[in-house]
Copies of this chain bind each other. A is one copy, B any other.
Amino acid sequence: MSSRRTLSSRQIAAAALEIADREGIDGLTMAAVAERLGVGTMTLYGYFRSKDELLDAVLDEAVRGFRPASREGTWRERLEQLAHVGRENLERHPAMVAIRFRRPVLRPEALRFGEAALGILLEAGLDPREATQSFRLFFTYVFGFAGLSPRRTEGDARRHAAAAIALLPPERYPNLTAAAAEAAAAMGGDEQFQYGLDRILDGIEARLADRRR
């Protein structure tokens, strides 16, 4: 938990995060972390009761490096900026996404993102109920996009997708085969992220206008 000799929990978590980000969540094994630190595998169990506890520390470590969003501008500008900052953070630490899809994350530091988004939506004029619901939509989009888009390392994911779509029988898949290039392009990237974000923000804005009436 606290003062041991050669290592610290933080050091171990940082090493584990680096491995997970680089090799993927499946590459994050206790043996790999130990080897990277030059200690025996079992040494790690002096700092964490289990791998699951280490994963919690990995999340904390990832969140620690998160850039905060600015606090200037309209609710829409701020929420848009928070989305981009959130996505950048997740791209720098893809391990976070993989862990989140395995179980909910309730660590205090990781909840700062939710706290910020919720604050913006409340200030925009939504009641607590709708603000949390809109936050959840926002969160689902940012994390869902990160989890469902090809990773940056998989540069040929689009080519694979385009090829698979091109092989479909056009009579059963007229729309997909006709728009194969567009469909492959829309698998990820800045422009696609922005397009979906714009539609969501438009939808929330329409809701705010509705409520004001």
Contacts and interface: CB of A to CB of B under 8 A. Distances in A.
A26 to B, nearest CB: 9
B143 A195 contact: no
A156 to B, nearest CB: 11
A136 B198 CA distance: 13
B199 A204 contact: yes
Given A182-B128, A196-B140, A175 B115 contact: yes
B202 A128 contact: no
Interface centre among A185, A186, A201, A207 (most CB of B within 10 A): A186
A16 to B, nearest CB: 19
Contacts of A183: 114, 118, 132, 135
A137 B196 contact: yes
B137 A199 contact: yes
Contacts of A206: 199, 202-203, 206
Closest 10 CB pairs of A and B: A144-B144, A199-B203, A203-B203, A137-B196, A106-B164, A132-B182, A202-B203, A118-B175, A136-B186, A128-B179
29 contacts: A100-B148, A101-B148, A104-B150, A104-B160, A104-B161, A106-B165, A108-B173, A111-B168, A115-B174, A118-B179, A118-B183, A122-B175, A129-B182, A133-B182, A133-B192, A133-B196, A134-B195, A136-B186, A136-B187, A137-B141, A140-B145, A144-B144, A144-B147, A147-B147, A199-B203, A199-B204, A199-B207, A202-B202, A203-B206
